[in-house]
Structure 1
């Protein structure tokens, strides 16, 4: 990334080879059932719905691509504004807003949807809008939704574009203090994050960045969300699906516990098997799956409607091995995806356990505001369907400037060096894309 300036940059590893493991133990990130065209919903809307007069169709860009389907939306017909940003208030207001929007649409227009991003702190206002225009596209082999506004095929980002590394002493110290607090019983796990600021010689082509990151991470959830005000665009490629709901069936695939990939196939395979047997990482992963199971029990009629495998599996991304557990649930009638999203978020995978204690530690140890990092990005419709990924492997782009984010789960036994190295690898997902297009 010649020409970039940087404050503290990790060096991405080399591109990893494909490694054959036992299919029962190694998978790619979970793919939810393919998203269809925007579902038609019944409309019992009041005719008094009016659009947001302060927005035009050319603004409020939103792009969200799962491994197989891409959603592109522009403009703002209405914004979600609620007095209390909690699950029931958000879900109820979203249903009412979508019903009014459905009643006001012209014949032949698709059923309205709600799109946007939810911050790490779910009690703070989310950026959720009913877009003026929306379209669904299959994700094609070039790694981008098949619409003419996307850039054409691009070369895969190469690691030789990496910037020289620099140690983040503040983050290392925070991890050390966190481990001491955990040893004293303050919590069982806390997720700590750090930032990396880089600047290019000229404004970045976000379309090129999206295409590059998709080509390197074909199973990720790629997003580009125009944030309100002058905050810029939230751009990234998350490996983690928090929840998708279609016709009352929920899918989730939490990830917790990671290890860096190796360019050597034998070492890569050995690393994966060590991760699968790591007591520390299995414990970290169990915090997440146990918490999700307890939340989902409130949204199913019977225990057998909830399927949580007893042990995790290996999940491979371009730079990391993860422990992942695919969960499914048949939800109680009338449950909206937003009900579940707000009940689950933030999970121990991005916050810690217990949640209140982990939040307190994050507030005292992280010297910045996460904003939408480790929040959620996705869509919902009036029928309660939707898909939401965790905002990971991401950055906020403002012209030529990018602030990147990366985090790691800290438990008793964690080391500042190990967590620093893990966040360095996580930075490389977006750094490699930036290097390939700059």
Structure 2
């Protein structure tokens, strides 16, 4: 399908108040859409269905499913930019918002010093006035700007409209092989990736890596963890370790172990989560939850050199899931966009720097709104 028809279909579905999700995986030219045929709200508990899932931060709440069997699936190919654009920070923020967030960070640091937890991820919501019916144009802008992120536009009339460009994989599974990542630490991209990381960011990233290893080691074999590297996501740099192995359990069991990770919650997870729910000034909803393809069938060729009919015998069909953490995202309600941003707090955190980190992260979404 050509791109004009693809986006016209999205516009029509949205104006008809029918559920849909459109998305593109990182460094990919294929953009896909699931257009649900009815307004029914489907949920999943054990993640055994096929479709697209949208899960909240608080795992005591329900995960929404757009079932493959209830959807029309569209695809199109879009040309990718060769590089992501770099923008300066506008720094247009509210003094009252800053005062609240700085106070929240101080509360987190005090709790860490009292031994309640080692790390906590604290976030905020920033509101931007927008014009109505901008959803598809914002999605197009995100696609053009953030080629290395998982970019999506998700809508259900009973829940609302969400868009994002997240750099973080929760888990990818092909057959029984999985890949995930430990992503933490943030600094502004200033033209080079060979940068120095402070003790606070290195410690934060190691917390996440160690936690994932501990959570998964009883469920997997052949567990491999890469060296930590600096990766670029939009106008930001992060520390990342890649983790892979072979699963010996179902996806639901793994998700219970991984979500929420210390990268979006803290460590220990339950203590940090309790602090977040009590002290943040808003409901995160689907921010820092996860979303993506669930149990789709994928055909792969084991021997691409054979050109005769016997080649069919070398094809295999595997079940694949690609789930991403819902970061760098926003929710649009009528004439307002609610942008969600946060950062990891440790005993070494500096309140002013933590505030500036959230300002930098908010720029990811603001650029799409203001283009």
Provide TM-score, normalisation by structure 1.
Answer: 0.70
Residue 338 to residue 138, structure 1, CA distance change in 2 (3 Å): farther
Match of 2:161 among 230, 233, 248: 233
> Does the residue aligned with 2:210 lie in a helix, a strand or coil?
helix
Q: Deviations over 1:192-241 (max 9, x none)?
A: 000101112x2142222112122221010011111451x42110100111
Residue 295 (str. 1) matches residue 295 (str. 2): no
| Mapping of residues 204-219 of structure 1, within 5 Å | 204-219=133-148
Correspondence for 1:198? 128
Hey, what does 1:224 align to over in structure 2? 153
Contact 1:127 1:227 in 2 (8 A): no
Give SS of 1:347's match.
Answer: coil
1:120 equivalent in alignment to 2:36: no
Partner residue of 1:413 out of 323, 345, 348: 348
User: How far apart are 1:114 and its partner, in Å?
Assistant: 2.0
The 2-side partners of 1:142 and 1:58 are apart by: 30
Unaligned 5+ residue runs, structure 2?
1-15, 298-318
**Paired residues for 1:85-234 under 5 Å:** 90-91=45-46, 94-95=47-48, 98=49, 113-131=50-68, 132-135=70-73, 137=75, 139-142=77-80, 162=90, 164-167=92-95, 168-200=98-130, 202-227=131-156, 229=158, 231-234=159-162
What is the aligned counterpart of 1:354 among 265, 268, 290? 268
- 2:31 is the alignment partner of 1:70: yes
Distance 2:106 2:91 in 1: 26
Write the distance in 2 (CA, Å) between the matches of 1:223 and 1:116. Answer: 12
Counterpart Cα distance in 2 of 1:336 and 1:71: 26
User: Structure 1 residues 138, 290: closer, same or farther in 2, change over 3 A?
Assistant: farther
Aligned length: 328
- 8 Å CA contact retained: 1:174, 1:366: yes
The answer to whether the Cα contact below 8 Å between 1:248 and 1:385 also exists between their aligned partners in 2 is no
C-alpha change, 1:140 and 1:81, in structure 2 (3 Å) is: closer
Contact 1:156–1:212 (CA under 8 A) maintained in structure 2: no
- Equivalent of 1:380 in 260, 274, 294: 294
| 1:332-375 per-position Cα deviation (integer Å, ceiling 9, x unaligned) | 2xx44343223210000000000111012212320111000000
| Aligned counterpart, 1:323 | 239
CA gap of 1:298–1:407, structure 2 versus 1, over 3 A, is: same
TM-score by length of 2: 0.82
| 1:432 match | 367
Offset at 1:247? 1.7
Higher strand share: 2
Equivalent pair of 2:293/2:322 in contact (CA under 8 Å): yes
Runs of 5+ consecutive residues of structure 1 not aligned to the other structure: 1-56, 83-89, 99-112, 144-154
Q: Does 2:279 match 1:365?
A: yes
- After superposition, give the CA deviation of every residue in 1:387-430 in whole Å (9 maximum; x if it has no partner): 11011111001232111100000000102101100000000001
The whole-number CA distance in structure 2 between the counterparts of 1:399 and 1:345 is 31
What is the alpha-carbon distance in structure 1 between the residues aligned to residue 43 and residue 144 of structure 2? Answer: 36
Q: Distance in 1 between matches of 2:157 and 2:73?
A: 21
168-177 vs 128-137, greater mean Cα deviation? 128-137
Moved more, 416-425 or 392-401: 392-401
Alignment match of 1:391 (pick from 323, 326, 331): 326
Change in CA separation of 1:179 and 1:130 when aligned onto 2, cut-off 3 Å: same
Structure 1 stretches (4+) deviating beyond 4 angstroms?
76-82, 155-160
